[in-house]
Amino acid sequence: MHQIGETQRVETQPELVRMEAAEYGLSMTRTARHVNLASRPNGAPVPENFEVVEAEVPAAGDGEIVVENRFMSVDPYMRGRMNDVKSYVPPFQIGQPLEGGAVGEVVESNSPNISVGDHVVHGLGWREVAVLPAAQAQPAANVDGVSLSANLGVLGMPGMTAYAGLLDVASFKEGDAVFVSGAAGAVGSLVGQLAKLKGASLVIGSAGSDEKVAWLTDELGYDTAFNYKSGPVAKQLFAAAPNGIDVYFDNVGGDHLQAALHALNVHGRVALCGAISMYNNTEPAPGPNNLTLAIGKRLNMRGFIVSDHGDMRDDFVREVGGWLADGTIKAEETVMQGIESAGDAFIGLLAGANTGKMVVEF
């Protein structure tokens, strides 16, 4: 069995190891590390909820591929899967590997559709090496000058979430005033840029630090932004949009949603995308006390998950990929190094430690 040091070498020099294995006429058994859910978080996750484990990598079966992951994603929705409750995805199991988006290089393929050396995106993150059916992997987008990790962010699930949420779920139209919470996150940072590019009359973002707020207005083109920790959201939102808003893209829930309901104009629309302010709650928190406003204002509030919007994928890749390639759209990442940091990356994500997409690089 390989030791951790050897495994790390395997990770960084896979071709060399394969050559060695071939030289010695050995069938290649190898080990790699993954992250198990050690225990369910009670409130905010802590390092002890995560356990890095080394295990033998299973052999690839018929139609399967072996992928050396280069980047794995941490996303807010994963917090829900760490609770033992039924949801649109089943809960993670204690003592079993976590899952999530990842992008990596194919090092073995038993599929005619994928070649060794291809880069693919798939759902078996939280591990250095993934073995999966080729049909469950998608070719990674390669955009000149853009990191492969963009497949987990602006060109991946979060980007597509922003695109579908704004244009379809919230029925954005030119001239709308748009408010985005979690605006410095992987989804929010694209929502605001898309809204500007599509002709919004006003784009407002909220984020949790003055640095993020400055990034939104100075780099991403948000018209105005505020630090929700600096004062009541409702008051800051009113100051930013005295004439109200037409669209609210909700990544946060809680007092942000309540403030938005107050600020929304007649026929306003809410895309309910996330509620990160509530994911670590141990008790149900009261909802907005002004939901009744939705009646007189004829608001349309829609929850969504990105996987329902696959029909928009081609448009998304073409449009956002183009804007990313020519620099029109900016995407930032917070990159943590090594699988040992995966738990901390997730903990930090929920605490707002990231600007833009949070990923872990192996």
Contact region for a second copy (CB under 8 A) — 20-28, 196-204, 222-230, 282-290?
282-290
348-361 per-residue burial string, b: 16 or more CB within 10 A, e: under 16 = bbbebebbbbbbbb
Q: How far apart are CB 123 and a second copy at their closest, in Å?
A: 17
Distances in Å between the Cα of 164 and the Cα atoms of 70, 117, 326 are: 27, 31, 22
CB of residue 100 vs a second copy: minimum separation in angstroms? 16
- CB-nearer residue toward a second copy: 185 or 343: 185
Residue 285 found at the interface with a second copy (CB under 8 A)? yes
Contacting a second copy (CB under 8 A), which of 304, 330, 348, 353? 304
Angle at 334 between CA 347 and CA 211, to 5 degrees: 95
Closest separation in Å from C-beta 58 to a second copy: 31
CB 163 within 8 A of CB 316: yes
Q: According to CB under 8 A, which one of 288, 321, 343, 356 is a site residue for a second copy?
A: 288
Strand partners of residue 36: 51, 97
Q: Using the rule CB under 8 A, which residue among 25, 62, 295, 327 binds a second copy? A: 295
Find the binder of a second copy among 19, 22, 266, 325 (CB under 8 A): 266
Instruction: Indicate the residue among 50 and 179 with the shorter CB distance to a second copy.
Output: 179
* Residue 119 touches a second copy, criterion: CB under 8 A: no
Name the strand (E) or helix (H) holding 150. Answer: none
Backbone angles phi, psi at 283, to 5 degrees: -125, 150
139 binds a second copy (CB under 8 A): no
CA–CA dist 288, 278 (Å, integer): 13
Question: Is residue 300 at the binding interface for a second copy, with CB under 8 A as the rule?
Answer: yes
- Least separation in angstroms between CB 204 and a second copy: 22
Pairing label, strands 102-109, 31-37:
unpaired
| Contact in structure between 60 and 34 (CB atoms under 8 Å) | no
134 contacts 108 by C-beta, under 8 angstroms: no
CA distance 259 to 253: 10
Which phi and psi angles does 132 have, rounded to 5°? -155, 160
Single out the segment in contact with a second copy by CB under 8 A; choices: 132-140, 209-217, 269-277, 340-348: 269-277
Single out the residue of 272, 320, 342, 358 in contact with a second copy (rule: CB under 8 A). 272
Tokens 């909700």 belong to residue: 250
Q: Minimum Å distance from CB 297 to a second copy?
A: 6
Q: How far is the CB of 275 from a second copy (least distance, A)?
A: 5
Q: Vertex 115, ends 114 and 117: CA angle to 5°?
A: 125
- Of 22 and 89, the one with the shorter C-beta distance to a second copy is 89
Residue type present at position 174: E
What's the N-to-C CA distance of the chain in angstroms?
A: 21
Q: Does 301 bind a second copy (CB under 8 A)?
A: yes
Q: Does 257 bind a second copy (CB under 8 A)?
A: yes
Q: Build a one-symbol-per-residue string for 87-106: x at contacts with a second copy by CB under 8 A, - elsewhere.
A: xx------------------
Residue 171 DSSP symbol: -
Q: Which is nearer to a second copy, 120 or 275 (CB)?
A: 275
> Which one of residues 173, 229, 298, 318 is an interface residue with a second copy (CB under 8 A)?
298
**Which one among 278, 312, 317, 353 touches a second copy, defined by CB under 8 A?**
278
By CB under 8 A, is residue 302 in contact with a second copy? yes
Phi (first) and psi of residue 270, to 5 degrees: -120, 125
Binding site for a second copy (CB under 8 A): 80, 87-88, 253, 257-258, 266, 272-275, 278, 284-305, 308
